[in-house]
Structure formats: structure tokens, C-alpha cells
Amino acid sequence: MKLLKAVCILFAGSLLLVNCKSEPKQELAKADSSTIYIKGTMEAELTSPPFVPAPIGNRTAKKLLVNMEILEKEGTMTDGVQYVYWTFGGTVPGSFIRTRVGDEIEFTLSNHPDNKLPHNIDMHAVTGPGGGAESSFVAPGHEKTFSFKALNPGLFVYHCATAPVGMHIANGMYGLILVEPEGGLPKVDKEYYIMQGDFYTKGATDEKGLQPFDMTKAIKEDADYVVFNGKVGALTGDNAITANVGETVRLFVGNGGPNLTSSFHVIGEIFDNVHVEGGDLINTNVQTTSIPAGGAAIVDFKVEVPGTFILVDHAIFRAFNKGALGMLKVSGEENKKLYSGVKQEGIYHPEGGTIQTMPVDKNKKEVAVTTEKPLAKKIVDGKQIYMTTCFACHQAEGQGIPNAFPPLAKSDYLNADVNRAIGIVLHGKTGEITVNGNKYNSVMTRQTLTEGEVADVMTYVYNSWGNNKTNVTIKNVQDVKNN
Amino acid sequence: MVAIKGGAYIPLYGRDSMKVEIDNFLMDVYPVTNKDYVAFVKKYPKWQKSKVIKLFADASYLRDWKSDTLLGENKKENSPITQVSWFAAKEYCECQGKRLPTVDEWEYVAMANKKMPDARKQKEYNAFILSWYEKPKTFNQTIGSTFKNYWEVYDLHGLVWEWTSDFNSVLITGESRKDVDTDSNLFCGSAAINATDLMNYAAFMRYAIRGSLKAKYTMKNLGFRCVKDDKK
């Protein structure tokens, strides 16, 4: 785009220089790319997702040889779920093809002899009948070659178009071909290839075993899996795409369908530029871009802060329940000015910062004393409360978790002051304390327990793990509460 | 061979007005095996892989054979012969005093399941065929390893594709979506609007594979069997 602008300015400038009298002709069509001269032959570099071949940049137009093999093979949809994929180049999506406007692509499609079915390829980058499908229909054990000139720049989908077309696409037969404009795309630091697809299995989502394709569900558009790059987890964990803070990232995002439109979104990033629908139109500062089935988009953005950024189809149940989730892991220095991280963590009381209680009538206070249980009963009941309320942090033997939650077993802090301990259970506690010589700085939330329950659980704690066997009474609890 | 009683049926691509009449005929119970074919090339050396005329078979013809008359190591005698061209299959049948079945004959017998002559609407019937597409290398199985159908014929589905005499008469062009447009008014690829049973997509793939073939092609997944007119 920029280059084009520069050319225009230069052109206008030269007009002025020669003092040309005639107005430049208004042309409806753009420069005729069918006349771009080709020089030389080269073999195309093909890559498996999420990788893309090196940029074309400003190389001259050439005859570009593309060799692609079709493989029908079993793969993993998600743990324990197998699926027979039909693939271009052995992967879903198929190998990424990168070319430039004006290139003459000589495309050879080879159908592996072990395959059962005939296939072909329809490339949306082709100007010609069937997008090449007609000329590439090939039986197993055979290959077909055809050629086409790349007339329009953009990011285009290719897919198989053999009957039944929907089934061939649903089994993974799609991929992307990028046709770079004259002079190439602006330089970025990282480029990746991501393509969404919806899958339909006989069994329900996550039902184990080899799952056959389900035509009925496909017709109803009732997808069991909606995934990036062919399977659940193709872009998560160790498979996540990566970048460093300060780098620019470009994603070539396709949608193979067969049915669903993608609402592509990266959580925690804003796309600086989006080539809408993979074409020339550039939109900026975009949160979510719509990618139709059989369509694509080029998005780029700069990563300013480190962390894991989640890629989703923002039709969000697909992301969290059907697999449409990927990760971009960004490493580097934090920038607190741009994003602070957690600044402060505290206890939240919906009623406000101070504990609010109803005024207590001093005379009635005496009456409120309830009958005390026997010690043994309190310990039994207290253990039950401990196991449901306190266990997760302080652990089964009161040992706590090093550096996070203080121990209750043989705890000097606990044994030193029973009223303080009661207060912590009633009101919560935040800030640094020292227990048995170790410092802890964590949060204990206010517990919603009755006075009797507080007495029971604290009596259990004081009578376990080598503590000082204090018998905490309901009156003790009430005294702390009312002071 | 077993006797197939003829009748009328509506092919996948047809409508009620397009009933096809089938005469009585006899059909091989099993596809032709590797063993059968070894015997054939011994008797007719012109069909040995080193001697076959290139016009009649492509470069993959009997590719996995060790020599002109010896099978490859991984080949079982009782597995179906594959990697033979239409010319070879046709001549094999003729040398036995038989012929290749027509598409209609083949489809007529193949629409049966174990119990019914026309099981195309049965869910299990279609499920079986479709599951076959997802099983790799079924050409290594032996004949008779699938099921015996209503006509007592084995292996029409589940082992290999099979040549038919007029395999290319129902045209699917390379561009499946355009086939609606042809004058033939036959079968229309993916946009199966005029097919009688939208769900019978297993058969679409059978027509697709036939459409992708030329008579000299050979394929690992493609064998054949013979039929004979019933003179009674």
C-alpha cells in the first residue's frame, strides 16, 4: 500500500516535471497483472502449520512449482479420540503456499496410492473454472498438473471439491495460499498460520475411540469439535506460538469451515491492522474479526507485554467446550506502565470495610450463652468442619503449605494467643505474620461459621498435632466477637 | 457364480421415471484373487507386467509383484487382485467366457445387505460402507472376509473398489459441483439435489472414484469380478 502510494507520488511528481498537459486517464481496473513478465523457475517452499514460508518481498515474478501430496490418514482429534483425516500434505490445514502476484504457479497434485478416494483442489486464488478443480481431479496412485497465473493479491483458501464436497472439507481438506502484492507485505518479526475448522463425529464430543464422520450432524451444522489447526490443543501448551515483547506478529488466519463462521479474537490484544477478508481493505484497532467459512484474514499487532494470550473463536462455547482455543506465549520484560499485573489483594466484605453488627443489649448478653458440648464431641464435630473448611489451605495434618499457608501443627503463633486465633477465624486476616520462625504473607478470608462451629473447629485444632489442648468455648468466641 | 434375478431399480442418480431394468445374470461370488491372476498371466504372457502394452496399463500395473509370475512378499494368494487396468480386467473375464458387470448390474447387486435385496435406506448398511472408507489398506484382506449378501455374493463393500464395464458412462467431471449443469441429467456431484436419497453419500463416492479413472489406470484399491449372462 505504502509502496503504491510512493509510486503515485513519484508519478504525479514526474507529471509536474514534464509539465504534461493531458489529465491522467481514470482507469476502472487496476494494473493488469496478467501482463507481469515472469523470469526463471523455482520450487515453492511449503510449510506445515503453524509455520509459513519466508516472505516473497520484492522478488521478480517467476514460474513457481508447487508439489502437493494428498494423504488419508488417522490422527488424534483430542486425547483418546481418533479421526481419519484427509489431508493436503499430511496436515490439517494443508501446507501453506506463498507466492506473489504475477507468478505462474505450476501445481502438481499427487494422490497417494494407499488412498481410497479420488480428490482435487479448488484454489480461491485461481482465476479459472472450478479454481483448478476441473483440471486436478486425480485417482489414487496418480498425479495431475495444471498451472495458473496469480492475478489478485490476497490470502486465499484452497480446498478439495470432490463429491461429496462437504465431506472432503469436513475431513480436513483445506489450507491457505498467500499471494503477496507487488513489493511484498510490510516486514514483521513473527508470522504464523492458523486455520479454523469444524468437525462432526458419530459419537458425542469427547466420546473416545476412532470416530467416523457424521453426515447428518454436518448437514445440521451441529459441530462436535471446532478447532484451530485440525485438533484440540494444536496451538496450546508446548504447541503454542511464541513471540518476544516488542515484536510485531502477523497471523494468517483461515477458516476451512465447512459450516461455521469464525469470530476470531486474541484475548488481551487489539489487532493493529486487519486485512479484512484477506483482501486489500485494511481496518485498524480491531477487537474481533469475522472470518467466513471459505475465507481468511490477515491480522497483525505488536506485543507490548509478556504473558499468555489466548486465541479464540469468540462464539465462546466453541472455545471452551469444542476446542477453538490457541495460545500465543510472549516472553520478555514486564512493562508496569502498560499493564500492572496484580497491584493489591485484599479481603472483600460486601457490607464495607468494617464489620457491622447490630448493637448488643448488655443485659441480654448473658442469656445468649448456650450449653457447652462435651470435649470429645466438640473434637469430632470440629474435625468435620476442619475437613470441609480449613483442609485445603492448612492441609490434613495441619502442616500448611510452605511459603503460602502457615502451619497449625505445633504452631507458636496459634498457641500463644487463643483470642487472637478466634479473631482471625471470625474476621479473616491479611498481612505478614511469623509462624515457627517463617514469614507468611497471605490472605485468610473471614469464615462464615456459627459461634458453636468456631468453638468446635478451634477446639479440634488445639487438641491435635501437638498443640496446647485449649478447650475453646462458645463464650470465648462470643467474648472475642463482642469486644 | 450365483444367479442374480433381474428386476427394476432406481439408481442413486435417478427419479421414479428413471427405473433401470436388469436382466437375469450370473455373478462371481468373490472378487478375482491374486492366485487366479497369476494363473491368468501364466497362460496369457502378454498380460505379464514386463510385456503388457503401455497403452493398456499404466506404470503401476502389478507394481508390487516380484516378477512376471511371482507375487510380492506381502501379497496373499487369497487377497483380491488389484493394480490391474480395465483392459486387463476385461480380457481376464473374456478369457473365462465371462464379462465385466455394468455399473447398473454391479450397483443392483451391491444395494443388498445380508437380508434384503435393497438395503440402501438401512442405517447399518450405509454405516458399514462408510466405516470401510476409514479403514486403511483393506486390499490386504482375504476374499470372503466381509459379508455374504442377499444374493450370496461376498465383498462388494469393504474390500476393494471394482471395475465395471461402463465405469465412465456416468460422468463426474473433475469439478464435482458443476455436474448439475451437464445435459446428462444423471448424477450431480456434491450438490446432490436430484439424487433420490441425500443420505446415500457412500454411493456418491463410488461414482466419484469411477469418474476419476481412465481405462489404463491401475490402483491399489481397485480390483474386479466377472459376470455372465443367464442363458436360461
What's the average model confidence in pLDDT over A450-477? 91
Question: Do A161 and B190 count as a contact with CB atoms less than 8 A apart?
Answer: yes
Distance CA B87, CA A473 (A): 100
Question: Do A137 and B131 count as a contact with CB atoms less than 8 A apart?
Answer: no
Question: Do A164 and B192 count as a contact with CB atoms less than 8 A apart?
Answer: yes
Phi, psi of B139 (to 5 degrees): -65, -15
Q: Say which of B136, B190, B217 has its CB closest to residue A142.
A: B217
Min Cα separation B5/chain A (Å): 31
A117 touches chain B (CB under 8 A): yes
Q: Say which of A72, A84, A135 has its CB closest to residue B174.
A: A135
A-chain residues near B199 (CB < 8 A): 215-216
* Residue A247 pLDDT grade (very low, low, confident, very high; cuts 50, 70, 90): very high
Min Cα separation B104/chain A (Å): 20
Q: Say which of B199, B204, B219 has its CB closest to residue A163.
A: B204
B-chain residues near A129 (CB < 8 A): 175, 178
Min Cα separation A93/chain B (Å): 19
Q: Say which of B179, B205, B209 has its CB closest to residue A139.
A: B209
Q: Say which of B174, B199, B221 has its CB closest to residue A137.
A: B174
Helices (H), chain B: 34-43, 86-95, 103-110, 123-133, 201-211
Distance CA A72, CA A70 (A): 7
A43 touches chain B (CB under 8 A): no
pLDDT beyond 60 at A13 = no
Mutate to test the interface with A, among B140, B172, B212, B214 (most CBs of A within 10 A): B212
User: Which set of grid coordinates corresponds to residue B189?
Assistant: 456431484
Phi, psi of A384 (to 5 degrees): -60, -45
Q: Say whether the ipTM exceeds 0.95.
A: no
Radius of gyration, alpha carbons of chain B = 17
Q: CA-nearest residue of chain B to A138?
A: B212
What's the length of chain B?
232
Phi, psi of B12 (to 5 degrees): -50, -40
* Positive or negative torsion for Cα B179, B180, B181, B186: positive
Residue B174 confidence (pLDDT): 56
Secondary structure class of A257 (helix, strand, coil):
strand
pLDDT beyond 70 at A367 = no
- The pLDDT > 70 percentage for chain A reads 89
Mutate to test the interface with A, among B74, B176, B177, B220 (most CBs of A within 10 A): B176
pLDDT beyond 80 at A350 = no
What's the average model confidence in pLDDT over B73-89? 95
**Per-residue DSSP letters for A336-384?**
TTT-----------TT-SS---PPPPHHHHGGGPPPPPPHHHHHHHHHH
Question: Do A163 and B176 count as a contact with CB atoms less than 8 A apart?
Answer: yes
Min Cα separation B152/chain A (Å): 25
Residue B201 confidence (pLDDT): 72
Amino acid B99 reads R
pLDDT beyond 70 at A398 = yes
* Residue A394 pLDDT grade (very low, low, confident, very high; cuts 50, 70, 90): confident
Q: Which of A134-143, A472-481, B86-95 tops mean pLDDT?
A: B86-95
Bridge partners (DSSP) of residue A42 are A64
User: Which set of grid coordinates corresponds to residue A149?
Assistant: 497465473
Distance CA B162, CA A306 (A): 59
pLDDT beyond 50 at B62 = yes
Query: Closest Cα partner for B13 from B213, B208, B174?
Result: B208
* Positive or negative torsion for Cα A6, A12, A16, A19: positive
Q: CA-nearest residue of chain B to A141?
A: B219
Mutate to test the interface with B, among A71, A116, A121 (most CBs of B within 10 A): A116
Question: Which of these ranges, A38-47, A244-253, A278-287, A419-428, has the smallest mean pLDDT?
Answer: A419-428
What's the average model confidence in pLDDT over A300-325? 93
Report how many Cβ contacts below 8 Å link chain A to chain B: 107
pLDDT beyond 60 at B197 = no
For chain A, the average pLDDT equals 88
pLDDT beyond 80 at B186 = no
Query: Closest Cα partner for A159 from A253, A94, A90, A231?
Result: A94
Phi, psi of A12 (to 5 degrees): -60, -40
Close Cβ partners of B120 (under 8 Å, ≥ 6 residues apart): B111, B126, B197, B200, B203
* Positive or negative torsion for Cα B206, B210, B213, B219: positive
pLDDT beyond 60 at A359 = no
B:37-96 residues touching chain A, CB 8 A cutoff:
58, 60
Q: Which of A357-361, A444-448, B18-22 tops mean pLDDT?
A: B18-22
* Stated pTM of the model: 0.72
The residue written with cell numbers 480461491 in the block is A124
Question: Which of these ranges, A307-316, B80-89, B92-101, B113-122, has the smallest mean pLDDT?
Answer: B113-122
Question: Do A140 and B190 count as a contact with CB atoms less than 8 A apart?
Answer: no
* Residue A14 pLDDT grade (very low, low, confident, very high; cuts 50, 70, 90): very low
What's the average model confidence in pLDDT over B21-50? 96
B123 touches chain A (CB under 8 A): no
pLDDT beyond 80 at B216 = yes
B16 touches chain A (CB under 8 A): no
pLDDT beyond 60 at B199 = no
Query: Closest Cα partner for A195 from A210, A168, A177?
Result: A177
B-chain residues near A219 (CB < 8 A): 198
Mutate to test the interface with A, among B121, B219, B222 (most CBs of A within 10 A): B219
| Rounded alpha-carbon distances, angstroms, from residue A164 to A248, A315, A456, B42, B202 | 41, 28, 70, 41, 9
Q: Tell me which of B38 and A339 has the higher pLDDT.
A: B38
Secondary structure class of A301 (helix, strand, coil):
strand
A-chain residues near B173 (CB < 8 A): 134, 137
pLDDT beyond 70 at A12 = no
